[in-house]
Amino acid sequence: MSGTTILLLYLGMAAVTYLARRAFLRLPGNFFSPRLKNGLAFIPIGIFAGLIFPSLFVQEGSLVWQPVFLMASVVCLAAMAWTRNVFVSFGSGLALVVVISLFS
Amino acid sequence: MNKQSRHSFRQGVIDALPISVSIILFGAIFGLLSMQTGLTVWESLAMSLIVYAGSAQFTALSMLADQANLFAIILATFLLNSRHFLMGLSMAPQYQSFSPLQVNIMAFFLTDEQYAITLNRFRNHPSDLSYIVAVSLSLYVAWCGGTLLGTAAGQWIPDPEALGLGFSFTAMFLALAYYQLFSPLRILVFLLSGAVATGLVLVLPTGLHLLAAGLLAFLVGYFLPEKGKQQADGENVVQEVESA
């Protein structure tokens, strides 16, 4: 990918991010209905699910079963529940995968 | 800068310090992964400097690695950052006294963490521009500095894919998603949109499955508002604030 394409990509990403941050920074709080706010608050759940599940179950366009990744995912979530620390969770899940790939 | 604003500036830097440290770490992970995706050091740093949005940048990397369409990446960025509409809305009262130019500039720095720190401060202090500027600059410098550190570290890791580091994106997203999953309905939406996204990715491998998953989650949130969770503006978002 060329440098110009990358720059255009960044500018596009920056523009939509800025739009979201700036848009309502000067609006009265009763502008949105509670329903709409709740809908907006749910969007990240869908986005994260859309990122996580295909990476666990799809590879090169077909369904796959990857027990090591699934086990590591459980470790990540358990570490989050236990420590509430993103770095401990990220580190322990990833460490499990790295250790297993080193010894297999 | 008068004495009062110097004092608030210093207080802002101090209050932001613990989060600045974790943001340096996050930035370093981003820098590391961007090397793995095949970006150059400059491309990686430029993304942090220009876009300045943690989870969207991680998403962009993973989509770039999958050769996703550029518009799909921008769309995913928009969807992920649409949560800032809510944060801006809830901060609006604190920004009433600033000039339009000040609001236009500070909007760039409205990240989840900046929002959380300033919101906490203005619960018992009057709104104050120097404080917001101090917090914003601390976090921005931490994110971009961390990115640079990570790119330096990335050049020393031989073959990340063979080490299983491909899983690192999934691990990061799982940890971030955890903060969103605090009710049975939210967990159900997570599983449901995950299943839909997985199904779609088999037929539409362009990143559009993210749009579908985000839209599905929005519709559930819109049509099934969570009972007893209709807090005042901000309260709800604070819980989600750790998520970027």
**CB A20 to CB B84 under 8 A?**
yes
Query: What is the count of structural domains for chain A?
Result: 1
Judge whether residue B206 has pLDDT over 60: yes
Q: Phi-psi region for residue A66, left (φ > 0), alpha (ψ -120 to 50) or beta?
A: beta
Higher pLDDT, B96 or B73: B73
ipTM: 0.85
Range of the domain at A103: 66-104
The answer to whether position A43 is within a domain reads no
Query: What is the least distance, in Å, from the CA of A67 to any CA of chain B?
Result: 12
Residue A29 to residue B233, Cβ atoms within 8 A: yes
Amino acid at B77: T
Is 70 exceeded by the pLDDT of residue A38?
yes
Examine residue A97 and state whether it is found in any structural domain, yes or no. Answer: yes
Domain annotation covers residue A101: yes
Partners of B46 on chain A (C-beta within 8 Å) are 6-7, 10
The phi and psi torsions of A58 (rounded to 5 degrees) equal: -125, 130
Chain B positions in Cβ-Cβ contact with residue A39 (cut-off 8 Å): 218-219, 221-222
- pLDDT, residue B158, reads 60
Judging contacts by C-beta atoms under 8 Å, the chain A residues touching residue B181 are 45
Q: Is the pLDDT of residue B162 over 80?
A: no
Residues in chain B with CB shorter than 8 Å from the CB of A33 are none
- Subunit contact A39:B222, Cβ cutoff 8 A: yes
pTM: 0.73
pLDDT band at B119 (very low <50, low <70, confident <90, very high): confident
Burial of A44 (0-12, 13-18, 19+ CB in 10 A): buried
Inform me whether the pLDDT recorded for B237 exceeds 60.
no
A55 lies within 8 A of chain B by CB: yes
Token code pair at residue A90: 């990220």
- Are the beta carbons of A77 and B178 separated by less than 8 Å? yes
Q: What is the DSSP string of A59-96?
A: ETTEE---HHHHHHHHHHHHHHHHH--HHHHHHHHHHH
**Would you call B103 and A25 a contact, using CB atoms and an 8 Å cutoff?**
yes
Kindly indicate the confidence band of residue B221, based on its pLDDT and cuts at 50, 70 and 90.
very high
Q: Which of B85, B220, B240 sits opposite A24 (nearest CB)?
A: B85
Find the closest chain B residue to A96 by CA distance.
B164
Of A16-20, B73-77, B109-113, B235-239, where does mean pLDDT reach its minimum? Answer: B235-239
Let me know if residue A77 belongs to a domain: yes
Gap from A63 CA to chain B (nearest CA, Å): 8
Residues B92-116, mean pLDDT to the nearest whole number: 90
What are the distances in angstroms from CA A81 to CA B28, B174, B244?
A: 24, 11, 17
* Distance of alpha carbon B5 from alpha carbon B8, whole angstroms: 5
Bigger pLDDT: B44 or B92? B44
Q: Tell me the shortest Cα–Cα distance from B139 to chain A, in angstroms.
A: 16
Cβ of B107 within 8 Å of Cβ of A21? The answer is yes
Report yes or no: A95 at the B interface, CB cutoff 8 Å.
no
Cβ neighbours, 10 Å, residue A102: 10
| Lowest-pLDDT choice from B45-49, B148-152, B226-230 | B226-230
Residue A2 lies in a domain: no
CB B165 within 8 A of CB A98: yes
Task: Report the distance separating Cα B162 and Cα B122, nearest Å.
Answer: 48
d(CA B226, CA A37): 11
Residue with the bigger pLDDT between B229 and B220: it is B220
| Inside any domain, residue A36 | no
Task: For chain A, say whether B56 makes contact (Cβ under 8 Å).
Answer: yes
As beta bridge partners, residue A58 has A63
* pLDDT surpassing 90 at residue B61: yes
> Which residues in chain A touch residue B76, judged by CB atoms under 8 angstroms apart?
47
Residue B83 CA to residue B234 CA, distance in Å, equals: 11
B206 CB neighbours in chain A (<8 A) are: none
**Alpha carbons B136 and B3: distance in angstroms, whole number:** 20
Residues of B in contact with A16 (CB under 8 A): 74, 77-78, 81
Q: What CA–CA distance (Å, rounded) separates B33 from B166?
A: 9
Asked if residue A100 belongs to a domain, the reply is yes
Q: What totals of helices (H) and strands (E) does chain A contain, helices first?
A: 4, 2
Buried-exposed string A48-58: b where 16+ CB fall within 10 A, e elsewhere: bbbbbbbbbbb
Least confident of A64-68, B48-52, B121-125, B205-209: B205-209
Tell me how far apart the alpha carbons of residues A67 and B217 are, in angstroms, rounded to a whole number: 27
Residue B68 has a pLDDT of 87
| Cβ pairs bridging A and B (under 8 Å) | 291
Contacts of B230 (CB under 8 A, 6+ apart): A34, A38
> Does residue B14 belong to the interface with chain A, where contact is any CB pair within 8 Å?
no
**Residue A50, in any domain of the structure:** no
